[in-house]
Amino acid sequence: LEQLVRSDEGRDRRQNAIIDIEGRTAAWTGQSTNDWAGHQCGIDYCAQGNILAGPEVVGAMVASFESSSGPLAERLMDALDAAQAAGGDARGMQSGAILVVAPRVRGAFHDRVVDIRVDDHQQPLAELRRILDLQRSGEMLREINPKLQAGDMAGAMESARAAVAKSPRNDNAYVALANVQLRMGDRDGAMNSLRRAVRLNLGRRTTLSRDGNFAEIHQDPDFLRLIG
């Protein structure tokens, strides 16, 4: 960090932070950085910002991160919400982003475990969380087919219901749930899930008519009414 700062002609207006693989941290806030500006670091994290409402914003991020557990992206999301609740950016809200990479980076697409951003929104943090929840819902959906192939119907149902709960406006989740319900003999439940999917996305009327997972009900009067 010292070398980085020393070689930077704009150091007085800059903020930098470095965290190494062992969780050690180093940070810099230039003396000409717009007030309020500062940072607070601990093992595995560094919270910093400028043009903030006050030092309590960084303090709220730290308190949230230190007291949380679970996936890193969700901990970062919670820290952003805590920062906003403490005053956030003095100019108001506009954008937000979360980037989480895998422990061993190989230069491949899947190195980025979470890479979401909102560039311009009246409620950027709410939108950021919605997108994160949508990604998590998609991850749960990808668990379903392997479980079906293994004959684990209960596990497939659990993943499908979890995907719906995580992102209630994800039409893909309702279609997946309907697939599992139909395989388990719950035709009425499957139709209810498909109705919800179509309400969320009218384009489903076209795709469902071609979906082989629902071939056994393609001529069902309720299904035909649903797809119009």
The domain locations on the chain are 1-92, 140-227
CATH superfamily membership of 140-227: Tetratricopeptide repeat domain (1.25.40.10)
The model's confidence at residue 66, banded by pLDDT at 50, 70 and 90, is very high
Encoded amino acid at 67, one letter: S
pLDDT tens, residue by residue, 129-162: 999 999 999 999 999 999 999 999 999 999 999 9
In this prediction the pTM is 0.90
DSSP string, 128-192: HHHHHHHHHHHHHHTTHHHHHHTT-HHHHHHHHHHHHHH-TT-HHHHHHHHHHHHHTT-HHHHHH
Please choose, from the candidates 128, 124, 106, the residue with its C-alpha nearest in 3D space to the C-alpha of residue 116. 128
The model's confidence at residue 108, banded by pLDDT at 50, 70 and 90, is confident
In the predicted model, is pLDDT for residue 191 greater than 90? yes
Contact residues for 110 (Cβ-Cβ < 8 A; gap 6+): 102
Residue 209 contacts residue 203 (beta carbons within 8 Å) = no
Mean pLDDT of 34-38: 96
Say yes or no: domain 1-92 is CATH 3.40.50.720. no
CA–CA separation, 60 and 139 (whole Å): 30
In the predicted model, is pLDDT for residue 110 greater than 90? no
